[in-house]
Amino acid sequence: MKKFKELSIALVFAVSAFALANPAQAASSFELGTDGPVSGMIEPSVSFKPESRAVVRLSRLDAAGKPAGDADVVVESSSASQGQAPEVAFHPADAQDLAAAAKEDRFYRFIINAEGGLVFQTNNDIAVPGGSGSRFDLADVAPGPYASFRVYLWWMITQKHSLRLLYAPLSVSTTFTPSEDILFDQVNFLAGRAVDALYKFNSYRLSYIYHFDAVGKFSFRVGFTAKIRDAAIELESGTSAGSTTDIGFVPLLNFGVRYAVSDKFYLDLDADGSWAPQGRAIDAALKAGYQVHPHAALEAGYRVVEGGADVAQVYNFAWFNSVFFGVSARF
């Protein structure tokens, strides 16, 4: 086992995370080695939770005070007596310690989230054109439920920066009989006659997300989302047919927060949203997840998608609620 002349903190990689709750300041000096005490200094800002264990990396200095490589050290804190801080002990890390640390601190580059569930319409007000078309609520005649799914692909560029792709199709089709005439796309659909309706709002998004350092059990993230919407509304009754389509770009802000209930169980809130004078868009979900394997987690949650636009071509504001189950895989 190597004898180190002098140690000073240069870089600390927390492999097993030190919780911020009830921290105790580490001692200002410590001894390391089996063939004689070697003194060193640890920064006063470093704190440890009672009964915690971690591997940290220290820089080694030679007799002249110049860098002479790194040393991996196990840091262990004892249980704290009432009114006293826990004692902190250091000893060189062996191969088994390093292997366990590498497994614990592995950085996963890609994450896939797949969700499937049921979606319900709370309201879906439509008028085409926006100023002169008849306004009707598709949710009154087709509240659901309807099957839905979406897929996320995360690329973790670093532990703080990521890109995320989303494919989220949404389609509602139904047949209803209006009690009043509906003027839609300059076509009159008569009351009492069956009308086939299709409502489509597919979403394709690319997000840049910044991940902040964890604060206790909370992890926050913010970002920007570029959304491409592929929307269409179609009505058909006999030989009468009308439709409106819209493919466009929508900028959104992203916000997310995760709460680590335990090492395996977590809660996660994720939202994309924006507002403009002519409309708004909100897509927010709260889910719970359980890590069943280092590479996989099972998830379940609730999602709300709300928004729309009031422009000359179309008036449409909709609110969709969904419950979903999903799986998350990382590699």
Residue 54: per-residue pLDDT? 67
Same domain as 314, residue 172: yes
pLDDT band at 60 (very low <50, low <70, confident <90, very high): low
Cβ count near 75 (within 10 Å):
24
Please state the rounded mean pLDDT for residues 157-181.
Answer: 94
* DSSP-derived pairing of the beta strands 110-127 and 315-330: antiparallel
Rounded Cα distance between 278 and 309, Å, is 6
pTM score of the predicted model: 0.69
Cβ count near 32 (within 10 Å):
21
Final residue of a structural domain among 104, 135, 153? 104
**What is the biggest distance separating any 2 CA atoms in the chain, rounded to whole angstroms?**
96
Please state the rounded mean pLDDT for residues 183-202.
Answer: 94
Same domain as 154, residue 282: yes
Q: Please say whether the beta carbons of 251 and 260 come within 8 A.
A: no
Residue 176 has pLDDT above 50, yes or no: yes
Rounded Cα distance between 39 and 31, Å, is 5
Final residue of a structural domain among 104, 137, 170? 104
Residue at 68: amino acid letter: A
Same domain as 33, residue 127: no
Residue 264: per-residue pLDDT? 92
Residue 121: per-residue pLDDT? 94
Rounded Cα distance between 312 and 183, Å, is 15
Structural domain that includes position 77: 6-104
Could you give the dihedral angle defined by the CA atoms of residues 24, 26, 31 and 34, in that order, rounded to the nearest 10 degrees?
A: 50
Residue 237: per-residue pLDDT? 94
> Has residue 1 been placed in a domain?
no
Average pLDDT, the chain: 80
- Give tens-digit pLDDT for 267-317: 999 999 999 988 999 999 999 999 999 899 999 999 999 999 999 999 999
Residue 20 has pLDDT above 60, yes or no: no
Same domain as 319, residue 174: yes
